[in-house]
Amino acid sequence: MEKFKTITSTAVPLPAENIDTDQIIPARFLKATDRERFGDNLFRDWRYDEKDQPKGDFVLNDDKYQGSILIAGKNFGSGSSREHAAWALVDYGFRVVVSSFFADIFTNNALNNGLLPVQVSGEFLSMILEKTISNPQEQVLVNLDDQEIKLLSSGASAHFEINSYKKQCLQNGYDNLDYLVNILDKVTRYEELTQKP
């Protein structure tokens, strides 16, 4: 996994609430056996019409809005456990998703792919959505070391929570698998001790 570094970027605002993983990547695009190119179908049915033409009113089709930070309404990533949702966001170029609330499985999937979910208050979310919608050039800074998200124009900032273990993993590019395969003797001892049927 890539190390997560401080990011300064413009942002893509998507104020809809309860964005489920079926919207992030519809089930019919889950037929691949590798992790490549899921970004092509990110938000497929919001982004393209039935003739595969881009829908003009969707933010990803609006050239004004670019950047590696997605800002979305509350309860982002609910529904299916498909990690393809995280792969699609990362493949498209996002490194951070900001919302006031994230679904549990999505959070794990995101962190396992170096995509940082930044949870902020509802008030801060409304403010940052408003600022980035009205000024597409607005620069947003996300600093993992200090656990801070900041609007560079006004200096308005918010602290965000992340577990210290997960933070270290992101900072160093470690994943849980590295840890788990090194404790297999412990696992075997546990099996013997508990006489697992």
Residues that bind other proteins (CB under 8 A): 16-18, 20, 22-23, 26-28, 30-35, 45, 50, 74-75, 78-84, 86, 101-105, 108-109, 112-113, 163-166, 175-177, 179-181, 183-184, 186-187, 190-191, 194, 196-197
Pick 66 or 75: Cβ nearer other proteins: 75
Pick 69 or 85: Cβ nearer other proteins: 85
* Euclidean distance between the first and the last CA atom of the chain, given in angstroms as a whole number: 35
For 54, list phi and psi in degrees, rounded to 5. -60, 135
Tell the smallest beta-carbon distance from residue 78 to other proteins (Å).
6
- Angle among Cα 18, 152, 103 to the nearest 5 degrees reads 20
Pick 121 or 137: Cβ nearer other proteins: 121
Tell the smallest beta-carbon distance from residue 120 to other proteins (Å).
16
Pick 155 or 181: Cβ nearer other proteins: 181
Pick 155 or 197: Cβ nearer other proteins: 197
Q: Which helix H or strand E contains 22, and what residues bound it?
A: helix 21-24
Q: Which helix H or strand E contains 14, and what residues bound it?
A: strand 11-14
Tell the smallest beta-carbon distance from residue 16 to other proteins (Å).
7
Tell the smallest beta-carbon distance from residue 181 to other proteins (Å).
6
DSSP letters spanning 107-147: HHHHHTTTPEEEE--HHHHHHHHHHHHH-TT--EEEETTTT
75, 98 Cβ separation under 8 angstroms: no
Q: How far apart are CA 54 and CA 187, in angstroms?
A: 51
Tell the smallest beta-carbon distance from residue 83 to other proteins (Å).
4
